[in-house]
């Protein structure tokens, strides 16, 4: 599938992912959905929290608590119910993909779909 087909699949999969940003391991943003343009400039906040193992961070004026951060994934939530941020690596580590997930959604299902998207786009971008 093309990148756009993968993106359409992810955003319509029903797992609650509503915005996506794709980064190179260097931190360079290569893509953001139109509804998450701030990820292009503020994405380093998320990547730094992920890489450093911090327990919390602020993004877009919203505080997030990190539930899981390891070399493969990031799972962070806003305890006030303002959403979740999920991150994953593509299978060969070519991209780091971060998604914003609606509040009240099972973020492990969202992570599964985001990981499948990350692997699928590895050769599509």
What's the CATH code of the domain at 23? Answer: 3.30.450.30
Q: Which percentage of the chain shows pLDDT scores above 90?
A: 78
pLDDT, average across residues 84-103: 94
27-50 pLDDT, tens digit each = 999 999 999 878 878 888 999 999
Map residue 97 onto helix, strand or coil: strand
Q: Which are the contacts of 15, defined by CB distance < 8 A and separation ≥ 6?
A: 101, 105, 106, 109, 110, 112, 113, 114
Strand order in the sheet with 84-89: 29-32, 17-23, 96-101, 84-89, 73-77, 62-69, 56-59
Q: What is the pTM of this model?
A: 0.92
As for how many domains the chain has, the answer is: 1
* pLDDT for residue 55: 93
Q: Domain limits at 91?
A: 3-121
8-18 pLDDT, tens digit each = 999 999 889 99
Q: Tell me the pLDDT of the chain averaged across its residues.
A: 92
Q: Which one, of 78, 121, 72, 100, lies nearest residue 11 by Cα?
A: 100
């Amino acid at each position: 599938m093309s990148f756009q087909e993968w993106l359409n699949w992810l955003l319509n999969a029903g797992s609650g992912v509503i915005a996506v940003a794709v980064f190179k391991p260097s931190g360079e943003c290569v893509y953001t959905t139109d509804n998450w343009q701030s990820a292009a400039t503020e994405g380093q906040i998320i990547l730094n929290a992920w890489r450093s193992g911090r327990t919390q961070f602020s993004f877009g004026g919203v505080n997030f608590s990190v539930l899981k951060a390891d070399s493969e994934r990031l799972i962070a939530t806003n305890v006030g119910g303002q959403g979740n941020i999920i991150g994953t690596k593509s299978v060969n580590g070519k991209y780091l993909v971060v998604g914003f997930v609606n509040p009240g959604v099972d973020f492990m299902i969202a992570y599964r779909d985001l990981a499948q998207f990350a692997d699928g786009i590895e050769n599509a971008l």
